[in-house]
């Protein structure tokens, strides 16, 4: 019988089968370990446990028993047990950032309360009816509602809080509408695409909860309100709107750095945000919000195929001369092979997460309205103003007008007038 199949009574019987005094001998302990394919440490742990149990079951009557297990030994054993319990509790806390059954039940059962975020991709974006018709795409990613950037932590190059976030987001939406409805008014539009790229909330992890300006609950409420206003403005301008939405690593309910893809959205607070945005527009047939349990969405615009994900599962392996391009291209090639084998061919990989802007013929990295922060600094990524990546797809399935709408920095915290001089 294997050791793992033994009951506690069996283990006690095995230890007591041997001469109790001889168990202090290394040879005997090794014999037990070899017989049951366990470590000698495990054997010693059970010896200590049985010794302690014997003391609690019967009084100590002689000096020999006192020498075997003294009061100091019992205290040490109890402290070790308490230490094990504390370590176990800490590990459980790390693996379950939010362990509220009420919150989890809301997320798991949210599709039963009136709206399903799994509607099909609308037909109007699949193929244009006119050669002069284009589909504008607005990428809203990494807005980190609730996060605060202290200007002094990023060399006074950026500042962020809930008020700045709202100002930037709505400015970018209005600039996007102005660009296509006024400056590019010669084109025809049947609608637009608005990508929600994840990390829409900051959450309460990564050590930022002490400086956040909103609690997690209020982050969810504020983000929902902001995204509803974004959809309203875009719908008023373009009539039809398709919203492919993925969650980021910040909204997750588990502490793993690289969140699993199995029902990933069901383990994210951002599912609540997307659900209530979709619920708000459930009676508007022109609004189509699309999510996926795996947080990977494949969609096409005028025949051009996209794969959308947040980007936290893209391993960043250093910059060298090419910057992050090597990591991004390596990730794209891996996904091309996997998706092609499963019938999900795509032409362009879209992701956020890195707070960087890039538009190429194979990769689109979405910029962040939060902009330059300590995370970007730690990765030694290039400095850039906060913004939103935008582009359009023409009737031939080509990306045109690729640009990065920018927000000018308005920091209230001024850089010190004089620096410290060392002599």
Reported as a single tens digit per residue, the pLDDT across 69-104 is 456 666 676 777 777 766 665 555 544 444 455 565
Residue indicated by tokens 């807005």: 143
Residue 179 is given by DSSP the state I
Domain ranges of the chain: 3-94, 100-406
Reported as a single tens digit per residue, the pLDDT across 198-221 is 899 988 865 566 678 888 889 999
Q: Which residue has the higher pLDDT, 91 or 397?
A: 397
* Topology given in CATH for the domain delimited by 100-406: Purple Acid Phosphatase; chain A, domain 2 (3.60.21)
Q: Which residue has the higher pLDDT, 255 or 268?
A: 268
Reported as a single tens digit per residue, the pLDDT across 334-361 is 899 888 888 889 999 999 998 889 998 8
Reported as a single tens digit per residue, the pLDDT across 118-127 is 557 888 888 7
For helices 40-57 and 8-17, give the axis angle rounded to 10 degrees.
90
pTM: 0.71
279 phi/psi in degrees, rounded to 5 = -65, -35
Lowest mean pLDDT among 5-9, 104-108, 310-314, 395-399: 104-108
Per-residue confidence band for 157, with pLDDT thresholds at 50, 70 and 90 = confident
Lowest mean pLDDT among 10-19, 100-109, 247-256, 368-377: 100-109
Q: Compute the distance between CA of residue 416 and CA of residue 195 in angstroms, rounded to an integer.
A: 39
Per-residue confidence band for 180, with pLDDT thresholds at 50, 70 and 90 = very high
Q: Compute the distance between CA of residue 206 and CA of residue 199 in angstroms, rounded to an integer.
A: 13
Residue 390 CB-density burial (10 A; 0-12 exposed, 13-18 middle, 19+ buried): buried
């Amino acid at each position: 019988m294997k050791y793992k199949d033994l009951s506690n009574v069996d283990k006690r019987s095995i230890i007591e089968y041997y001469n109790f005094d001889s168990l202090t001998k290394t040879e005997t302990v090794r014999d037990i370990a070899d017989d049951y394919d366990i470590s000698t440490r495990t054997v010693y742990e059970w010896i200590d446990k049985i010794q302690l149990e014997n003391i609690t079951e019967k009084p100590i009557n002689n000096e020999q028993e006192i020498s075997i297990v003294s009061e100091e030994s019992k205290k040490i054993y109890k402290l070790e047990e308490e230490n094990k319990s504390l370590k176990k509790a800490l590990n459980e806390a790390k693996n379950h950032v939010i362990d509220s059954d009420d919150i989890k039940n809301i997320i798991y059962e949210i599709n039963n309360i009136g709206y399903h975020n799994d509607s099909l991709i609308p037909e109007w974006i699949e193929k244009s009816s006119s050669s002069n018709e284009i589909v504008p795409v607005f990428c809203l990613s990494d807005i980190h509602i609730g996060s605060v950037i202290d200007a002094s932590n990023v060399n006074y190059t950026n500042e962020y809080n809930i008020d700045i976030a709202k100002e930037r987001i709505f400015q970018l939406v209005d600039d996007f509408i102005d660009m296509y409805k006024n400056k590019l008014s010669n084109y025809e539009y049947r609608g637009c695409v608005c990508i929600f790229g994840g990390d829409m909330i900051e959450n309460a992890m990564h050590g930022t909860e002490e400086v956040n300006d909103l609690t997690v609950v209020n982050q969810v409420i504020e983000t929902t309100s902001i995204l509803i206003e974004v959809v309203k403005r875009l719908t008023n301008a373009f009539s039809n709107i398709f919203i492919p939405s993925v969650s980021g690593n910040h909204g997750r309910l588990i502490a793993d750095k690289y969140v699993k893809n199995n029902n990933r959205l069901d383990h994210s607070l951002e599912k609540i945000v997307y659900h209530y945005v979709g619920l708000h527009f459930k009676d508007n047939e022109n609004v189509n919000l699309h999510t996926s349990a795996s947080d990977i969405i494949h969609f096409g615009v005028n025949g051009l195929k996209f794969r959308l994900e947040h980007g936290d599962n893209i391993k960043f392996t250093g910059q060298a001369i090419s910057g992050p391009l090597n990591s991004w291209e390596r990730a794209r090639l891996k996904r091309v092979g996997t998706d092609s084998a499963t019938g999900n061919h795509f032409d362009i990989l879209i992701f956020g997460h890195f707070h960087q802007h890039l538009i190429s013929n194979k990769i689109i990295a979405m910029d962040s309205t939060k902009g330059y922060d300590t995370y970007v600094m730690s990765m030694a990524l290039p400095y850039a103003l906060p913004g939103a990546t935008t582009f359009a797809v023409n009737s031939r399935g080509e990306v045109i007008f690729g640009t990065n709408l920018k927000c000018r920095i308005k920091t209230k915290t001024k850089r010190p007038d004089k620096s410290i001089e060392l002599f």
